[in-house]
Amino acid sequence: DAKTTQPNSMESNEEEPVHLPCNHSTISGTDYIHWYRQLPSQGPEYVIHGLTSNVNNRMASLAIAEDRKSSTLILHRATLRDAAVYYCILRDVPGGTSYGKLTFGQGTILTVHP
């Protein structure tokens, strides 16, 4: 499985933007980049995913490097409720041998200060 590398932890102040980086230098052409987050004592929650182009949704934006070897999850205005562990995951296409198997690394622990 292609691996991702994320910083262990990051801190932010409330109302400020947060940029969470992820390196995936061995990404294959068919891998999608997915981001999930896990709030304390809860199950993971989908945040966003993309293939090549930058993506926006109501939760966040995903900026993907042109060579796809890295990506950045952007929270435009952090709130206290955004404090969580953020996971960057590469996922195979449907029908791919490892499609069903998301590999969660250690993720980035985001702390948001009031």
Partner 1 sequence: NAGVMQNPRHLVRRRGQEARLRCSPMKGHSHVYWYRQLPEEGLKFMVYLQKENIIDESGMPKERFSAEFPKEGPSILRIQQVVRGDSAAYFCASSLTSPTNTGELFFGEGSRLTVL
Contact with partner 1 (CB under 8 A) among 61, 102, 109, 111: 102
| 34 touching partner 1, by CB under 8 A | yes
Smallest distance from partner 1 to CB 82, Å: 18
| 95 touching partner 1, by CB under 8 A | yes
Smallest distance from partner 1 to CB 20, Å: 16
* Cα dihedral across residues 57, 74, 96, 104: positive or negative: negative
Cα-based angle 26, 49, 22 (whole degrees, multiple of 5): 45
Binding site for partner 1 (CB under 8 A): 32, 34, 36, 38, 42-46, 49, 91, 93-95, 98, 100-107
